[in-house]
Each structure stands twice: as C-alpha cells, then as structure tokens.
Amino acid sequence: MFGCSCSSVSVCQWLARPSVKPFIGEVISGGIDSVQLDPWYSPATQVRFKVLESFGTDQPRPVFVMRVSPTAGMCSPMPYILGRRYLVFPRTVHEGEESLCGFTGRLVEESAAEVALVRDYYASRNRYRLRGRVAASSHESYVELSLLMGESRPPKGVRVVATQGESSYTALVDDRGEYEIKVPSAGDYRISVSSPAYLPLEPFSVAVPAAGCAIRDIALSTGNTIEGQLRDPDGKLLSVGTVTLRDADPAPPGRRPFELRAYASKSEGSRSRTSLLENTP
C-alpha cells in the first residue's frame, strides 16, 4: 500500500537531497492545458518542459518530460499550467525510498527568493543559510498562513540575529515578512529577535545543516488587545456581531491587506475582544 501525509516540502529540504536536480522550465505541453481543467482533478499524466536553467548537473537537457501521477493530486493540486514557468524538483520514487507527496514545483513569478536561493546554492555562494518568515501569530506553525491570509502583516523594523561564539550575523525582515541569514558554516546558532514594537522573545537555537538550509518561522506577540461592546442604536447590548479591523496601508506586493476579525458572543456578554494587533512602528 502507498500512503502519504499532506505536508509541503521546503526548498531547504529539497536541496538536502543530492539526487534531486532542480531546473527552471516552461510548460510547453501536457499538464493543465485548458481553463476547463481543474488542477485538483487533473487527468494529465505528463508535463513537457522546455528547460531554461538546470542545476547540479553537467548534462542539462533541453526538454524534460515529467510523469505526474494521480497520487500527487491526492494531497495537493497539480498546477503545471501551459505557458507558465516553474522551479521544478523532479523526483524518482524507488521502492523503499521515502515518498514525498504533493505538488513539488514553484511558480517562478511568485517565488523569487526561492529561485535566488537555488541559484546561489548551486553556485556555492553563501551555501549555509537560515531563513524563515516572521509575523504576529499565536504559534510559529501559523506564521505562513497568517501572512498568506492577511491576518498578520509583515512586521517592520524586526531584526533577526544568529550568534555562534563571538560572531553574529544579522538580517532585517523584508516587506514580505521573510528573513534570510547567510552564515559561514554549518552548526548550531543562537537566534534572537529584536523589535521595539513586539514583546521580547526568548532566544532559541537552530541547527544549520551541511546540506540544504535551515528554515525557522518566528511568531511574535504584541500583547495588545482591544476590548469593547456592541450596542444597537437604542443602547441595547448586542450578543452577536463581527468587528473587523482593517489597515488602510496598502498591502505589500503579493499579500492581502491586514484584516482581523473578532466575534462577539453571548458567553462574553457581548464583549468583543481581539489580540495580536499590529503595532505602529
């Protein structure tokens, strides 16, 4: 029997697999070649790429034909759309090898940082890296989703510092909420985060591997809350309602505007309480 769990594989995890030779390719046939096809239920069995850039091989192919199986669609869609360019991590699943489920490509136009990472990695420049996303969130595992859904906006003025011995390496979180620290060698690094707009975070350790790179998302907390009541025009308390906080600032490219909803409930006696509010830097 074949089975898989639905978790995405990061670029760092792909780079740690020397047998996987990524490439950037444009879909020239196969895949999703009609607007009538739903990537979640694609009948496609193969995708033909015109290879534009190859990594980790001395014998690049001009064309790469990749078999895609219904199994991939079980855990994720298969959105190799005709005419679009992807960073592809082709894999071969042998008997006994760990199976990696799901769509493994990255749309180039939406993955500039990951494309740059792969290029640098194979050019052996700044080989050791620690990267991740930072946002106000209740847990680090929700950071990516919070940024994607617009429930948290990329924090401004946040520095992430990696320390090993007497040496420190710093990165500023960018306007997408991402950071990347280039370090000179593999090993354990002590990570600290500094920002006047968020509550202090206890330093923690991250191991940067010899192959691939380390990913660590960071959840910040403001400790801010807004609390109040909903009342109808006659002054009567309302027990149900939705309060939406919106930011008038334009959202960064590729991100939804910051928006956070709080729901008044009977159990709270019509009080609406919300937290994780962004600070004004």
- Per CB under 8 A, residues contacting another protein are 32, 34-36, 38-41, 79, 81, 196-199, 221-233, 238, 240-249, 272, 277-280
Q: Which of 23, 43, 26 is nearest to 34 (CA)?
A: 43
Beta carbon nearer to another protein, 107 or 113: 107
Q: How far is the CB of 129 from another protein (least distance, A)?
A: 29
Sign, Cα dihedral of 34, 38, 42, 46: positive
- Tell me how far apart the 2 most distant CA atoms of the chain are, in Å: 77
Q: How far is the CB of 110 from another protein (least distance, A)?
A: 10
Q: How far is the CB of 99 from another protein (least distance, A)?
A: 26
Q: How far is the CB of 278 from another protein (least distance, A)?
A: 7
Beta carbon nearer to another protein, 184 or 228: 228
Beta carbon nearer to another protein, 32 or 117: 32
Task: Give the single-character DSSP code of 114.
Answer: H
Q: How far is the CB of 143 from another protein (least distance, A)?
A: 18
Q: How far is the CB of 259 from another protein (least distance, A)?
A: 10
Q: What are the residues whose beta carbons fall under 8 Å from the beta carbon of 143, sequence distance 6 or more? A: 132, 133, 134, 135, 137, 152, 177, 217, 218, 219
Beta carbon nearer to another protein, 56 or 252: 252
Beta carbon nearer to another protein, 215 or 251: 251
- Which CA distances in Å does 199 have to 5, 157, 202, 276? 35, 14, 10, 11
Task: Give the single-character DSSP code of 2.
Answer: -
Beta carbon nearer to another protein, 138 or 229: 229
Sign, Cα dihedral of 178, 216, 138, 191: negative
Q: How far is the CB of 179 from another protein (least distance, A)?
A: 20
Beta carbon nearer to another protein, 63 or 237: 237
Provide the residue count of the chain.
Answer: 281
**Per-residue b or e along 134-148, where b marks 16 or more CB atoms closer than 10 Å to that residue's CB:** bbbbeebebbbebbe
CB atoms within 10 A of CB 266: 8
